[in-house]
Structure 1
């Protein structure tokens, strides 16, 4: 299985990832990119199934795969716990430790990833600084000028070929008005956008 993954992961992650993958049997599927998630874990029979999007950077692919393998390990040892509860957090941190080296992740990403792993969230998108570093790695070909958290209220911006206006900040999201439909949306502050 590790040979199939080489094109998706950082080169120096291969050995530790191979050990992790061989620890428990599961079915791994690399699927077309989805907007709503990067990967998922399902406790299917006879083998659990993990899916990972094929359009991730090598670093994001590795983080997502280890995240989902942590769900597998947690399910095996604690079958009736919350998906991102304390048991999963501990497992995810433990499984990520061998990868936290500058030979796998570059220094800016490594710094933010290490902080994230102190108390990991359900998604790296919940960690604004980490998600920005990961997005910048992904968007080397297509550069967005701003993130919503950079914009002042009243600023017009483009996101997914739609035009919005920033209204105000709510806790971690921003209330925005879609110009065409006049509908209001809450959008994450780390969404990469272009000013109109």
Structure 2
């Protein structure tokens, strides 16, 4: 399985990941990018299934894979445990430990990742600094896109083919108005968006 994963992971992670994979039996699916998730674990029979998106950065792919293996470990030993409860947190922390090195992750990712693992959440998206650094490393990142926190109140932007206007910042989220239906939404500050440039005034001075 490790050879199948080499195009997607940091090469320095090969040895530790190979050792980790030797402890588990599951079917791995590498899928096209999904908007709603980067990976998932399913307790399918006769063998569990883990799927990971193919459009992730090497760092994102590795973290997501270990995240899902932690679900497998938790299911094996605590089948009734909450998906991201105490047992999963402990397993994720333990399984990630061998990968927390500068050979595998750059400092910009390693430091916030270590802090994230003190009390890991269901997704790295809940951690503004870590998720921002991870998204910056995505190989297919559209250079025309920005993070919503880079904009200011009143700016228009496009996300999922919908036009929004920034109203106010609320802690880690931004209150935005969808221009088409005038409904308000809260959008995470690390959301990748495409800024709509204001129209330039083409009238010359008299």
Tell me whether the two structures share a fold, i.e. TM-score over 0.5. yes
**Structure 1 range deviating more: 130-139 or 155-164:** 155-164
Residue 160 of structure 2 aligns with which residue?
Answer: 160
Gaps of 5+ in 2: 197-206
Residue 138 of structure 1 aligns with which residue?
Answer: 138
The normalised TM-score by structure 1 is 0.93
Q: CA deviation at 1:175?
A: 2.0
- Counterpart CA distance in 2 for 1:34 and 1:188 is 18
- How many residues get paired? 196
Change (3 A) 1:103 1:120: same
Gaps of 5+ in 1: none
Q: Secondary structure at the match of 1:194?
A: strand
Matches of residues 104-143 of structure 1 in structure 2 within 5 Å? 104-138=104-138, 141-143=141-143
Q: CA RMSD in A?
A: 1.6
- Counterpart CA distance in 2 for 1:144 and 1:80 is 45
The normalised TM-score by structure 2 is 0.89
2:87 is aligned with 1:87: yes
Task: Kindly indicate whether the alpha-carbon contact (under 8 Å) linking 2:57 and 2:139 is maintained by their aligned counterparts in 1.
Answer: no
Residue 15 of structure 1 aligns with which residue?
Answer: 15
2:58 is aligned with 1:55: no
- Counterpart CA distance in 2 for 1:140 and 1:44 is 31
Residue 173 of structure 1 aligns with which residue?
Answer: 173
2:39 is aligned with 1:39: yes
Task: Kindly indicate whether the alpha-carbon contact (under 8 Å) linking 1:144 and 1:192 is maintained by their aligned counterparts in 2.
Answer: no
Q: CA deviation at 1:59?
A: 0.8
Task: Kindly indicate whether the alpha-carbon contact (under 8 Å) linking 1:154 and 1:165 is maintained by their aligned counterparts in 2.
Answer: yes
